[in-house]
Chain A
Amino acid sequence: MTIKDLYQKARIKWSILYEGDVIHILIGTATCGRAAGSMAVLEEFKRCISNMDVPVSISEVGCMGLCSYEPLVIIIKPGNVAICYHHINEQTVPQLVERYIKNDDPCLELALGTVVGGGGEPVHIPELELFSYQQRLLMRNCGYNSPLEIDHYIACGGYSGLARALRSNPAEIIGEVEKSCLRGRGGAGYPAADKLRHCYMAPGDTKYVVCNADEGDPGAFMDRLLLESDPHSVLEGMAIAGYAIGAERGFIYVREEYPLAIHRLQTALAQAVEKGVLGTDVLGSGYKFDIEIVRGAGAFISGEETATIAAIEGRRSWPRHRPPYPSQYGLWGRPTLVNNVKTLAFFPLIISKGGDWFASIGNGKDTGTVLFALAGKLVNTGLVEVPAGTKLSTIIFDIGGGIRSGKQFKAVQIGGPSGGCLPQSLLDTQVDFDSLRQAGAIMGSGGIIVMDEDNCMVDTARYFLDFCSKESCGKCTPCRDGIHQMLGILEDFTTGQGDLSELDKLERMAEDMKQTSLCGLGKMAPNPVLTTLRYFRDEYIAHLVEKRCPARVCKELTAYYILPQKCYRGCDHCVLACPAEAIYGDDNGLKVIDQAKCTKCGSCELVCPPEYNAVVRLSPVSLVPPERRSKTSL
């Protein structure tokens, strides 16, 4: 069947649901929505509408990227604008059904705003200011189209890029990608057209496309969201890339930690084959392209391209020296195009709208849009898509809404364990590959974690090294032993040991590792240490000289203390909550923490009623008055 026929059929289905006479309820059931309880919301909706006589349809959709508002529900009622509701739970569902679906009260107190776009136009909520800074290309359908229905994707112009590609020759496709100046979104930013060309030119009849969806960076979830919300865009991109380089098979390597993404990909793949947009005769063109899903098995290193290939071959995912690059010698020794999920998902847009259009977005240095996962101490966490070159401050304060609960911004961590921590003074940095690298961070796969005054930078550096030491594959010595040694030094710092001379040692080791490690993991692992040393050296000095953790995070340097002037004698919350039985009352019934028994779990601070707010953390520990350190000292 041609794309035109498919489109016409899909359009009919789409118009019934989104523009027709049925009431259509969209429930965001991506992983973050589920964590917030959207499956219970889905069940409750099903229950509530089961006895209605007007036609109501429910679709599970992906995620709009508004994680902090989950669970989200969109209701499209014929004759009305689509309305998005936030923080919906089992209690509010019957209200929505009773008042809005059965009657005409749109329950504005539960609404987030109206939903505009759809049908191929980027979906957004104009009432939310955070959308005004964004430009949603990859996320155009996310949270609105059902990822379980290929017709929704086709009705929004999906697979037309592939159809167009099939009418051109590979050189034209690569030329279009070249015009777009797209750089690979996996982290390193290699020009996408060059990679395509190398694979295309490489000798051999058998070639492969690999979609790298091993999103191992802790704190990044862009690929997950895309695969869960709009999986067909990735499949289409793979088919275009396959046609361009002359490959007949593609592999998607997905983390096993993403079961829902795998499930939705499987559904999408089966539908695509059934519709003939993939398989033995792609869109009736005679081109053959099959895709296979390969589950990862939980190894951060599998994201490195040669390691991905090893994992697909069923081996330990050990990286190897390059060259030869995978575009020459890849999967089973054949030329292989390895691209990130987002890079591939851009291809359909570039082919259907043109490379020049894509290149017109961005700041001139980088083109197109960039996806970031915003997490940490922000008001609005979730996924954002901004033109390349947007300032960090725009992302953090205008879109992210700034720091929660009135705290002070301290640092922004970009690029995961291979990235760096940037301070307030660098918030004018534009998010493009080169500007970020200059500042000491990297674009990475696109995780942004914002930290406030309560986060310790030494502990953050230690955390990332700890992560890398666990994930180092062990093949090369600089990474295997270097990270371990650096981690040891930082562990000393966070426990109040070590001296200033070790700061230089850290810097020297970091430099050696950068020069000598085999792959990106070892080369980049020192980045969090180097950037924190560069921008937050005072915190290191406080730890080493004053034995003080300014953020009061490092346990050995911090004590929990109950302010007697704030404690209330009739309240026992902390005593009951303390798992170590370290809290008791003094002669006046005011509480005291026995420092020798305290395990610093933080329970007392959490349960102390806000009207007293008596539990504080002190650093250095010597700040605790001697007479209130233990039972015997009273």
Chain B
Amino acid sequence: MPSRRERRHLIDILQDVQESEGYLSRESLLEVSHFLGIPPSIVWSVATFYNQFRFTPAGRNHIRVCMGTACHMAGGQLVLEAVARELKLEIGATSDDGEYSLARVACIGCCAMAPVMTIGDKVYPKMSPPAVEEVLVRIKPSDKGDKCDH
């Protein structure tokens, strides 16, 4: 494999770092800057420009709700709000126990199944607030009790 010690591989390297570590830490950004011999400010500038990069660890269940046009028309916003409400999470945040994180994504190209969300690599089609609840109950390990107090 040819050396990746070139400026043009910066994004590529950042992607690999994020893939193995889950996010870009200050230390790894500095290390990348050192490896490529470019100022940390440039590494930081590129990393913060792209939506893919995150600077805090993602949860073990990283939930992305699609906000593409088709999903928006079919109620994607309600799905996003439902996830945020169920998990008591803000968009872009990770839960304190590191179990969940929530993000909005522009479009994952599954428009015919709108609205969709993904957890890890799995795509959940045709979501709605009640469906979100069902999916989350399935992946939630323990605390089922507190929902059934009606």
Residues of A whose CB lies within 8 Å of any CB of B are 31-32, 34-36, 67-68, 70, 215-221, 224, 256-259, 294-300, 311-317, 373-377, 381-382, 413, 416, 447, 449, 451, 455, 460, 463-464, 467, 470-471, 473, 575-577, 579, 581, 599, 601-603, 606-607
Contact = CB atoms under 8 A, between A and B. Distances in A.
Interface in B42-67: 45-46, 49-53, 67
Interface in B67-100: 67-73, 75, 78, 81-82, 85-86
B111 A221 contact: yes
A297 B51 contact: yes
Nearest to B66: A218
Q: Which 9 A-B residue pairings sit nearest by Cβ, starting from the closest?
A: A67-B112, A218-B68, A375-B111, A297-B50, A298-B51, A221-B109, A218-B107, A219-B69, A381-B112
A413 to B, nearest CB: 7
B8 interface: yes
Contact of B106 (A377, A471, A579): A471
A36 B113 contact: yes
B42 to A, nearest CB: 8
B109 A463 contact: no
Contacts of B106: 216, 218, 257, 298, 300, 467, 470-471
A606 B110 contact: no
Interface of B: 6-12, 14-15, 45-46, 49-53, 67-73, 75, 78, 81-82, 85-86, 105-114, 116, 121, 123-125, 128-130, 150
Given A34-B123, A35-B116, A295-B15, A463 B78 contact: no
Nearest to B116: A35
A376 B75 CA distance: 11
Contacts of B9: 314
Nearest to B10: A314
A576 to B, nearest CB: 5
A550 to B, nearest CB: 15
Contacts of A376: 69-70, 73, 111
Given A316-B49, A602-B78, A219 B123 contact: no
A295 B37 CA distance: 22
Contacts of A375: 69-70, 111-112, 114
A147 to B, nearest CB: 16
B112 A606 contact: no
A82 B135 CA distance: 37
A463 B81 CA distance: 16
Contact of B82 (A296, A377, A601): A601
A31 B130 contact: no
